[in-house]
Amino acid sequence: MAEAVVDLSAIRHNVRTFQRRVHTGTEVMAVVKADAFGHGAARVARTALDAGATWLGVARAGEAMQLRAAGLTAPIFTWLYDETELIWLADVDVSVSNVAELNHVIAAPNVRNVHLKLDTGMHRGGSTPDQWIELTRAAAYHEAQGSIAVRGVWSHLSHGDELDASHSRRQLQLLTTGVALAKRAGLTPQYVHLANSAGAITLDAPECNLARIGAGLFGIDETGAGLRPSMKLMSKVAQVRRIKAGEGVSYSHTYVTPRDTTIALVPIGYADGIPRIAAGQASVFCRGIRMPVLGRITMDQFVVDAGDLAVEPGEPVTIFGDGGSGEPTIAEWAEWAQTIPHEIYCGLGARVPRRYIEEAQR
């Protein structure tokens, strides 16, 4: 009764947009964690690589192994794992934030490539500056012993989506200092990476040669870079009825009709990822107009106001899309739900099938 239509040509467009915006020689890592923000990790990963990305990024060890099981052979970087999961990660690059983690990696059979993470101000993982020299010296020692290869040094932006890049520049300065100290310890990292999607646009960072693109891959355009939304969420009208003024709609009758009207039932709800908090503000697109959501959004369905239109069961309903036809966008739904588009995408449940298309580039 509902489906998420993923436009793979939008993924390609977005990868190529970032390739044009970053410095020459900077590679793109397509971050496909959380099942590619709900879009389908393996399918999106293949598309991003075909468009020119050279790396894949995931948060967790299990996500990396799912990509390998799908036959993807590109370099994969993961930053969250526990000691017991390292045995799975023989051909995956892992993040290391302290000497204890480094020792776990050294003890794991076959795990070799590491990226040392420096906390430059996010305060959410990474080596503290006062522990950095100890970490880099220990890593250099074990690299000389042949136990590991320090393939990268990295950090994460805390204010990457701000057009004023002053905070990001301070983080870049700290990372640059960290790289210099790593080299002084004897390391020669091949990759230095800091920027996320927004930071790749707002921060001029020739010192970095890899950009981690997650939100932007799916058209979440925080900086006006000309990205294309990659998903349209569709459903169909399930039932239609005419009700009189003064009738309550949905649980607890939080909405009472001020006039006679036609209401339509849309069979998708908060179990599928439609945010319940958006009730009272949200609308959908049907028959060329926006129809407001009436009353509470329930687990499996919600009701919209069709006014005096002669709507029929089976009519298509666009919950969100790119906005080109007047339909709500993912950004509007995020605003109605007091959240960010990332959460709306990631919240779409398994009951909503994904269908993949390749629309012509616009």
Contact, 220 vs 197, CB < 8 A? yes
3-state helix, strand, coil in the chain (%, to 5): 35, 25, 40
User: Is residue 251 annotated as part of the catalytic site, yes or no?
Assistant: yes
Structure token digits, residue 295: 């009353």
User: Is residue 345 annotated as part of the catalytic site, yes or no?
Assistant: no
- What angle is formed at CA 186 by the lines to CA 112 and CA 143, rounded to 5 degrees? 20
Structure token digits, residue 281: 């503000």
Residue 294 CA to residue 286 CA, distance in Å, equals 15
| CB count in 10 Å sphere of residue 292 | 16
Enumerate the known binding-site residues for substrate.
Answer: 124, 299
Q: Exactly one of 117, 183, 232, 251 is catalytic; which is it?
A: 251
Helix (H) / strand (E) element for 95: namely strand 93-96
Q: Exactly one of 33, 117, 232, 236 is catalytic; which is it?
A: 33
Contact, 226 vs 213, CB < 8 A? no
Q: Which residues are catalytic?
A: 33, 251
